[in-house]
């Protein structure tokens, strides 16, 4: 009915919509001590990578010094970094995770 807005479609101009949130790359950094299989496990557990993709990213970090784990809004990027930090620290690994704006 004309009084029922529930089922009406609304089309907005792009300029009337909220801007997409700023996005941040989350990166892993290489070090000489963290075991390769631990890095693969981190990428599977916190960044939802399968074993093959996790291995590819781990080797990129190992060879190039850094690698992208994912791209997220700021709060989610910060949460992933904190989770990786706690997980690695608790197991005495020096693995470092950082974020930078895209
Ligand atoms: N460079 C580490 C090693 O040789 C492996 C590693 C890869 C560490 C990616 C951190 C990040 N054991």
Residues 34-57 pLDDT 10s = 999 999 999 999 999 999 999 999
List the residue whose alpha carbon is closest to atom 12 of ligand 1.
Answer: 35
Distance (Å, whole) CA 102 – CA 88: 25
pLDDT mean by block of 10 residues, the chain; 102 residues: 43 86 98 98 98 98 98 98 98 98 98
Give first-to-last CA distance, the chain, whole Å.
46
Q: Which of 27, 35, 36, 41 to mutate to test the pocket of ligand 1 (most atoms within 8 A of CB)?
A: 36
Q: 52 is written with which tokens?
A: 């093959």
d(CA 33, CA 10): 56
Interface ipTM: 0.99
Q: Which of 26, 28, 34, 96 has the most ligand 1 atoms within 8 A of CB, as the residue to mutate?
A: 34
Nearest atom in ligand 1 to the alpha carbon of residue 58 is: 9
Q: How far is CA 7 from CA 10, 14, 17, 73, in A?
A: 10, 21, 20, 31
């Amino acid at each position: 009915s004309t009084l029922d807005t529930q089922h009406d479609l609304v089309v907005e101009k792009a300029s009337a919509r909220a801007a997409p949130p700023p996005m941040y790359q989350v990166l892993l950094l290489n070090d000489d001590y963290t075991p390769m299989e631990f890095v693969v496990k981190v990428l599977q557990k916190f960044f939802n990578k399968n074993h093959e993709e996790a291995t590819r990213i781990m080797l990129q970090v190992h060879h190039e010094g850094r690698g992208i784990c994912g791209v997220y809004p700021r709060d989610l990027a910060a949460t992933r970094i904190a989770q990786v930090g706690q997980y690695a620290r608790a197991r005495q690994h020096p693995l470092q995770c950082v974020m930078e704006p895209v």
